[in-house]
Structure 1
Amino acid sequence: MSEIKLVIGNKRYSSWSLRGWLALKTSGIKFEEVLVPLYRETSHAELKIANPLAPPKVPSLKIRDKAIWDTLAICEFAAEQATEVALWPTDTFVRAHARSVVAEMHSSFMALRDYIPMDLSKKISYGQLPGDVESDILRIFEIWRGCRSRYAGAGPFLFGELSLADIFFAPVAVRLYSHSVPLDEVCQSYFDTLWALPEFQDWRAAAEQEEWVIGNANEYTVQ
């Protein structure tokens, strides 16, 4: 049994869980996954049992008798403990740029989050979106194009090599995919790179096997 446990929510729906999980998976850290289905009467109690020192939210990390429960803090822990990759760029300026992008993703784009929740079971045709949602998407595309223009020579991800910036945009890729949002050539190329990340593929494959499907009013049906 691992001394490190990551408590996550449903893989179909939990965007913040996806970020924490990808950070640990790509870092090479060995951990035990504890999945607590959300939006149930028992979810709160189950989360407290899974990680008593953390608030009842996902993701949270339990390391023996210690707890980390903010997604960015979990990702920073993964970057510091990584054994297989560097999850932050090594160059000082590039790392600061990547941190700026992650911080913006961490705190912004509320219209997109509210209007298009992450849902790996959904795929609909593109239709006109509210203006504030479109503005969020345009800003995201601006970030993607700017990073790819500056760092394309270093690799296919936002800052060349895989970093926490890419991990933070993984749920955004799901949102764009679920609503068939059209992408220009640069953004499509980056989307394809992120979508093909093996760990991201593993998460999506596991999500397809989940039996819980959220319907109206956050009520579950079971497949």
Structure 2
Amino acid sequence: METVFTRDTKVRDIVIRVPRSDELFKTHKIDFCCGGNRPIHEAIEEKGLDEASILTSLQSLYDQAVDMKALDEEDWTSAPYSILIDHVIHRHHRYLVEELPDLSFYVTKIFRVHGDSHPELAELHRLYHSLKTELEHHMVKEEQFVFPAIRQYDESNMETDRSAALSKIDELEAEHEEAGNLLKQMRQVTSDFTLPEGACTTYKMTFQRLEQLESDMFQHVHLENNIMFPRLAGEA
């Protein structure tokens, strides 16, 4: 079990290194932005919290992130459609369902606080929320219509069911392309997520999580565009 922090690690460093630690800190009202330049044990003591419990929870969040990364590296090229679909839903869709609204809060926050001196944050805010809306609609379409059609073919192996599933694929690929364009524009407007001098912890964490979102989307779309859909189209 790898440990990337100790009780003496600063709060601001933990929130950047440990995915979703900000949610734990918000729950316990631990300031990780302006008050983040102090050891985690001091912040825990100030709030009267149990240090062992908080550190264990943080380690658990980190271990979960490591486990998910390892899962992404599995060979999915021969997995049954039902298994691949379950992976996409439980790994990538769940990540988006949890991350999109939380990240929206931070993208809005840095725009509100720093937008006057960094006008590019207004465009980032617009692009991000266009992406958020696009992905939310896309996930509903996949889970309610497309994936059930592919599962039906996986069970029946009938050509009529394969054709029904294939009829829905072009629209999904177009939506993937639109999401990719929005991610590309977000990277361009932020100069590859380059932080301004003196960026606060929230600013740093927001840009890091935007890059993580981009990385997850690349893996997510790869599984569908390069593995699931071509297999479906190529079967006879």
TM-score normalized by the length of structure 1: 0.27
- Over alpha carbons, which structure has the higher Rg? 2
TM-score normalized by the length of structure 2: 0.26
Select the structure that is richer in helix. Answer: 2
